[in-house]
Amino acid sequence: MNTCPCGSGTAYEDCCQPIISGARPAQTAEELMRARYSAHVKVDVDFILTSTHPDHRKGYDHQGTREWAEKSEWLGLEILGTQQGGAQDETGQVEFIAHYRDGEGSHDHHENALFQRKNGVWLFTDGVRVRPKPLIVEKIGRNDPCRCGSGQKYKKCCGK
């Protein structure tokens, strides 16, 4: 069995391939997200373009997308959650992480992808990168011992 790249555990021919080929539309926003990931793996960038809402194609770089898809080794897709995006909804959101490797190393593309149904067909509208949460740094008082381990007060050492 040729397992689908989207991580569903089913055969590609029964999962994302019919959506990518146009044999059937995605029933949910998550199905479309999975198909778009699989299209990156299969370097089917025409599907990536056509599954993007026409009102949201401005700035889309078809050749750049092709090069990214071709030069990346796609390591897996994690769906972290969905909001709406069901068979009866008109909009939806899918939070995902796409793991890949390129010439610079391994990467995690973490995004909240937004979808809208147009004429009964789910389309990608926008994606918002999810950035790592900032580290919370404990405040050091001027008279506290310096964290560098010198044994001096912070104000006399690194706090100058």
List the structure tokens of 48.
């990536």
Q: How far is CA 72 from the centre of its chain?
A: 14
| pLDDT value of position 137 | 67
Closest CA to 84 of 76, 97, 94, 75: 94
User: Integer distance in angstroms from the first to the last C-alpha of the chain?
Assistant: 65
Sketch out the chain's domains with CATH numbers. 12-129 (3.10.450.50), 133-159 (no CATH)
**pLDDT per residue as tens digits for the range 114-158:** 999 999 999 999 999 998 777 666 777 778 888 777 878 877 888
* Whether the Cβ atoms of residue 92 and residue 79 lie closer than 8 Å to each other: no
**pLDDT per residue as tens digits for the range 41-84:** 999 999 999 999 999 999 899 999 999 999 999 999 999 999 99
DSSP H helical ranges for 16-108: 17-21, 29-41, 45-50, 62-71
**pLDDT per residue as tens digits for the range 81-108:** 999 999 999 999 999 999 999 999 999 9
Pairing of strands 105-118, 73-84: unpaired
List the structure tokens of 121.
């067909």
Confidence of residue 159 (pLDDT cuts 50, 70, 90): confident
Residues 27-35 have a mean pLDDT of 98
* Cα separation, 95 vs 111, whole angstroms: 6
| pLDDT value of position 136 | 65
**pLDDT per residue as tens digits for the range 6-22:** 999 999 999 999 999 99
| pLDDT value of position 86 | 95
Q: What's this model's pTM, rounded to 2 decimal places?
A: 0.81
